Amino acid sequence: MNESDTLAIIKPDAFGSGKSGRIIAHLEAAGFQVVAARVSRLSRTEAEAFYAVHRVRPFFGSLVEFMTSGPCMPLLLRRADAVPHLRQVIGATDPAEADEGTVRALYAESKERNAIHASDSPENSDIEIAFFFTGAERLQG
C-alpha cells in the first residue's frame, strides 16, 4: 500500500462545465502533484464496476447514469498522507454540508453531481488507481 498516492475523478458535471482547470489548481495549491491524468468516458460496465460497493444503494442507478453522462477526468495524485488530505480538501459528499473553501463547496451542484470523487482509504486508493492507470504511470513523477 502506498500512503502517498490517491485517486481523484473530476466528475462529468465539473469537467463538462469547464471547472477542471480551477479544480486542478486548487489541488496543486493544497500540495498535490498530478502524477498522471486522463480524460475518460466511462462505459456503463466500467461505472458499475468502479462503484460496485454502492450497488445495493438506492442511488446506484442514478449515480451510474450520471457518471456515464459525459467525460470525466481521473487523476493520480501524490503528497504525504494523500487519502485523508484529499478527503479534507474536497469536503463532504453533500456540498451543502461541505466546509467553506473546499472543492465541493466551491464547485459541486448537489449530493450526486458533486464535482469530484476521492478514494476513501489507502486500500481502496490502490484498487481505484489500478482501475485507471498502469504501473508505469504510477512510477512517474
Amino acid at 74: P
Question: Binding of ligand CMP at residue 92 (CB under 6 A)?
Answer: no
93 or 140: CB nearest ligand CMP: 93
Q: What distance in Å separates the CA atoms of residue 42 and residue 8, rounded to the nearest whole number?
A: 15
Interface pick for ligand CMP out of 117, 125, 128, 129 (rule CB under 6 A):
117
Provide the pairing of β-strand 73-78 with 116-118: unpaired
Q: Is 85 a catalytic residue?
A: no
Question: Binding of ligand CMP at residue 112 (CB under 6 A)?
Answer: yes
Task: Give, in order, the Cα–Cα distances in Å from 134 to each of 27, 45, 47, 108, 124.
Answer: 22, 19, 18, 29, 16
Interface pick for ligand CMP out of 45, 93, 134, 140 (rule CB under 6 A):
93
Question: Binding of ligand CMP at residue 131 (CB under 6 A)?
Answer: no
Question: Binding of ligand CMP at residue 59 (CB under 6 A)?
Answer: yes
**Torsion angles phi and psi, residue 117, rounded to 5:** -110, 145
Please give the residue ranges that form the binding site for ligand CMP (CB under 6 A): 54, 59, 63, 93, 111-112, 114, 117
